[in-house]
Chains A and B, each alone.
Chain A
Amino acid sequence: MDQRTDFLMLDSGCCFGEPRLKDPNYQDFFSFIDVYDLPGHDLSPYKCLVITGLIDQELLYKQKEQIRDFLDGGKVLVFSGNLFLPWLPGASAFVPKEIRNHSDYDVTIAKEHPIFAGVQTYDMTYNKGVAGFFARGHHPLPDGAEVLLTLPGGEPITYIDRNSTKGTILVHSGNDLFGYNHPGKSTGRIALQLTEWARNEYRQLQEPQERGAYA
């Protein structure tokens, strides 16, 4: 299939999401559709569905079967944001962190992982010396989830869930992880590494089926 279109990002239609549509960093591998065009849209050409925190979750809740079917086809879904409706298999509603001190926002790597390889936790926690941009709470974990990043109380900021569906779900409780593509800070590595990870994950998810065909 066309490598250019193997990631599908839902467009929220709001103005903070608009620069994405024209950002050259996304043009190589992202397709965009308006979120209200999701019902009835054929998701089969895509390896990975990308959903950000600006999206209408009421609509996603109405389309939860479509999202589940996509995942059960051995696909990958990356969500960055705060969940408040149960449209994503295995996931729970966002729990905000009670902040008493800026160090309450400190990001810790819970497990070395290719998505965050070479990324400094300081760069995740601080932006121009100010903490709090990366994540301000967490989503309680589904059974068997793999935790990548945590806040100081052990709250999981970022997890991977391979159990709730036949696909793979990555949930991040902060801003769109694909937005971390700016050189000059180590966090700029995240977008590309996440893309590579999603493609590898997709390959591994599809492999057993392919092997099965020749068994």
Chain B
Amino acid sequence: MRKIAALYGGSSQHFRSLNEPKYRKYYDRLIYLPDLENTSLDEFDALVVPSQLHMGLVMKSREKIKQFAEKGGIVVAFGPQPREWIPGQNWELRPTNFWWWLDKNAKSGLVLQKPDYDLFSYITLADATWHQHGVYWPPEGAEVLISTEDGGAVLYVDKVSTAGTWIVTTLDPDFHFGSYFMPATERFLDGFLPWLAEGNV
């Protein structure tokens, strides 16, 4: 079982999605974001960076997070992350497709690119389907697991930019679970966190 820390920004959404007992058991520690600068990450295998953190504070600690990855750590970034703090981050903001499912012949526009990746032993594409706020165009050598139909990355894994692993997604399941909204986001977290803790990342 990997030792996982999560950043905690103090909003009600962060509080709920991190402290829900079935998720809290995967986090060895919650680090209050203003304390991150003075907190050692050395003991952890993975760091979860939630949606909707204070961007200024995240930017202040971007070197620290990068150093954590350079030592082999796994960094998870839930979306959207419009500030550039992820190595090779190439974010394209798109209008959020809130309403695709009301259309006739509804298509979410999501494509499962790597069905054999171990994450999909834990979640299905449907569990990752609600809406996207944009796409990433990841660095060469990164593996895109879920994309839009035009190939923009909705979830990718980057093992080339640093010595560690970056799991980067435009999806924001933690925000919606923390807002008591959208059941798919709960199914995503139900599978994603056990995968992060014990799966083949």
A54 to B175, CA, bound (A): 10
- Contact status A57-B54, CB under 8 Å: no
**Extra inter-chain contacts (16) besides given A14-B11, A15-B83, CB under 8 Å:** A12-B11, A12-B54, A13-B54, A14-B9, A14-B55, A15-B52, A15-B80, A15-B81, A55-B11, A56-B9, A56-B33, A57-B15, A58-B10, A58-B32, A82-B12, A128-B102
Across the interface, which residues of A come within 8 angstroms of B82, CB to CB?
Answer: 15, 18
**Interchain nearest-CB distance for A160 vs B (Å):** 21
Q: Place the interface of chain B in its size category.
A: 20 to 34
Q: Which 7 A-B pairs have the closest CB atoms?
A: A56-B10, A13-B54, A58-B10, A14-B52, A82-B12, A136-B180, A96-B180
A55 to B9, CA, bound (A): 9
**Interchain nearest-CB distance for A96 vs B (Å):** 5
Q: How many A-B residue pairs have CB under 8 A?
A: 70
> Could you list some 28 contacts between A and B, CB below 8 A?
A12-B11, A14-B54, A15-B83, A16-B52, A18-B55, A18-B82, A36-B54, A53-B12, A53-B13, A54-B13, A56-B9, A56-B33, A57-B10, A57-B11, A57-B12, A58-B32, A59-B10, A81-B12, A82-B179, A82-B180, A94-B12, A128-B99, A128-B102, A129-B102, A130-B102, A136-B179, A136-B180, A136-B181
A137 to B180, CA, bound (A): 9
Interface centre among B9, B13, B54, B57 (most CB of A within 10 A): B54
B interface footprint on A176-209 (CB within 8 Å = 1, 0 otherwise): 0000000000000000000000000000000000
- B34 interface residue (CB < 8 Å to A): yes
- Contact status B34-A36, CB under 8 Å: yes
Give residues 1-36 of B contacting A (CB, 8 Å): 9-13, 15-16, 32-34
- A90 interface residue (CB < 8 Å to B): no
**Interchain nearest-CB distance for A188 vs B (Å):** 18
- A84 interface residue (CB < 8 Å to B): yes
Closest A residue to B53 by beta carbon equals A14
Number of residues in A with C-beta < 8 Å to the partner? 28
Across the interface, which residues of A come within 8 angstroms of B180, CB to CB?
Answer: 82, 96, 136-137
A56/B54 contact (C-beta < 8 A), A96-B180, A136-B181 known: yes
Interface centre among A82, A130, A137 (most CB of B within 10 A): A82
